[in-house]
Amino acid sequence: MSCAGTTFGLIAYIAVSWSLAFFFPQSVLAFLLFEASLLLIYYLPVHPKMKFYMGASVLLVLMPVLGFVNGYYLEVAVQIGIYVALALGLNIVVGFAGLLNLGFVAFYAIGAYLWAIFGSPQANAFLPGGFFPLSPAWFFVFLLLSVAVGALAGTLLGLPVLRLRGDYLAIVTLGFAEVVRALVNNLDKPINFTNGPQGIAPIEKPPLFFRPLLEFFGIQFEPAKLYPLYFYFLVLSLVMVIILVTRRLENSRIGRAWKAIREDEIAAAAMGVPVVRTKLFGFAVGASFASAVGVLFAAKQVFINPESFTFMESIGVLAMVILGGMGSVPGAILGATGVTILNLQLLKGLSLWLNSLRQSGAVLSIPFLGSYSLSQLPAQFEPAKYERMVFGLILILMMIFRPQGVLPPREDRKL
């Protein structure tokens, strides 16, 4: 009976939080409450079928409608989706196989530049014929291609370095990411491949292949309104595919081999696990996910430059995986969502609030310490600019107090 009660409670919660977000489109809090409903759906003891229906309706119906009212929410949702996909990829490398990769962003950059170069006039700079930009229909071809290119890049890096011990591997991957970034930054001469620090624009968006269908039903949309929704569903499908692949891998022979290596490499080798090959496969799978997400990112941004692929980004994704719990798929999703919301909404909100305080010229009077005019608050003090501090604190505090993360993987929980 409690099950039915919980179900109704949950439905009521979703309805209320959704209406709040719908009728108060400026409220970050309402949106957060609505986002939390997914977590509740996952955790509360509800019939699995109900979970599926509720999750599907939140993701496929309620969120898009909300996003249609307030485009910013959709933007946030797409960002979250991108980071969830990245975190799931890194989770395979760090969480399952136990290989600390500090240069994950390199593969993301490779994918992004793959589509950016050929999906914009950039490729004309070094290929004759003037075929570029490729037509949007090629986007899906490149999405598939990027999986292969990412896997190849991962293998090429992995082959020499995977024999190294854990912390050396971390530094080498970091170095690799810096090399990739330096190359992207400087390969505008002698031949202009990447257009250097100026970046590449405009990058083609994916094709609106469903347009005839919409027109058939007589629905007319402005492309400006349509694209955010379209990207939302693209990211959602990519995340779903990645979750599916990750889940299948996790419970397969190869997934068990990863975990065996993570727990004890020598013992795993003694049991006949081909250590280097298994590690390499994990590395390649993670890299190919990141690379595919990169293609999507480039298409969404229309403009990319090397600034988007700094070490900071790698650490951000690592913080997501560690916050959620290494080796746990729901953990990676939760971590990515949490950190992205923290970054995009909470810190920015705090900055805006401080700014308004500063402009209001209010005077704060503290007993015994005298009064302090808030307009004197230095303009440099903007929480949104201190994301490194936030990532750093997450990493240190998690390592000291809860190294297994907020949602550790199931088998650890049993112990």
Partner 1 sequence: MELALEILPQVLVDGIVLGFMYALIALGYTMVYGVLEFINFAHSEIFVLGSFVGVEILLMLQSAGQLTAWPPALVLLLVIVAGMVISGLAAMALERVAYRPLQGGPRLVALISAVGASFFLQDALRLFESLWRNTFYLSYPTLDLLDETVPLTTNLVVPVKSILVIVTALLMLAALHFFVNRTRVGTAIRAVAQDPETASLMGIPVNRVIALTFFVGGAMGGLAGVLFGLHYSLVNPYSGFAPGIKAFTAAVLGGIGNIPGAMLGGMVLGLLEAFAASYLSILTNGAFGAEYKDVFAFLVLILILIFRPSGLLGEKLREGRA
Residues that bind partner 1 (CB under 8 A): 98, 100, 102, 160-161, 164-168, 170-172, 174-176, 178-179, 182-183, 185-186, 189-190, 311, 315, 318-319, 322, 378-381, 386, 388-389, 391-396, 399-400, 403
Residue 21, helix vs strand vs coil: helix
- Nearest approach, Cβ of 337 to partner 1 (angstroms)? 20
How far is CA 87 from its chain centroid? 6
71 CB neighbour count, 10 Å cutoff: 14
- Nearest approach, Cβ of 368 to partner 1 (angstroms)? 21
CA distance 376 to 364: 11
CA distance 171 to 166: 9
Between 152 and 171, name the residue whose CB sits nearer to partner 1.
171
DSSP β-bridge partners for residue 365:
371
Between 209 and 381, name the residue whose CB sits nearer to partner 1.
381
Contacts of 54 (CB under 8 A, 6+ apart): 10, 11, 14, 41, 46
Ordered DSSP codes for 275-308: HHHHHHHHHHHHHHHHHHHHHHHHHHHS-B-GGG
Between 113 and 118, name the residue whose CB sits nearer to partner 1.
113
- Nearest approach, Cβ of 177 to partner 1 (angstroms)? 9
156 CB neighbour count, 10 Å cutoff: 12
- Nearest approach, Cβ of 291 to partner 1 (angstroms)? 21
Between 223 and 392, name the residue whose CB sits nearer to partner 1.
392
Between 301 and 310, name the residue whose CB sits nearer to partner 1.
310
Between 31 and 96, name the residue whose CB sits nearer to partner 1.
96
Task: Extract the tokens encoding 209.
Answer: 């292949």
CA distance 195 to 49: 51
- Nearest approach, Cβ of 190 to partner 1 (angstroms)? 4
Burial of residue 346, with CB atoms counted within 10 A of its CB: 0-12 exposed, 13-18 middle, 19 or more buried? middle
CA distance 301 to 294: 10
- Nearest approach, Cβ of 187 to partner 1 (angstroms)? 10
- Nearest approach, Cβ of 233 to partner 1 (angstroms)? 34
Q: Is 327 left (phi over 0), alpha (psi -120 to 50) or beta?
A: left
Q: What are phi and psi of 378, to 5 degrees?
A: -60, 140
- Nearest approach, Cβ of 94 to partner 1 (angstroms)? 9
Between 12 and 182, name the residue whose CB sits nearer to partner 1.
182
Q: Give residue for tokens 């604190």.
A: 393
Between 102 and 236, name the residue whose CB sits nearer to partner 1.
102
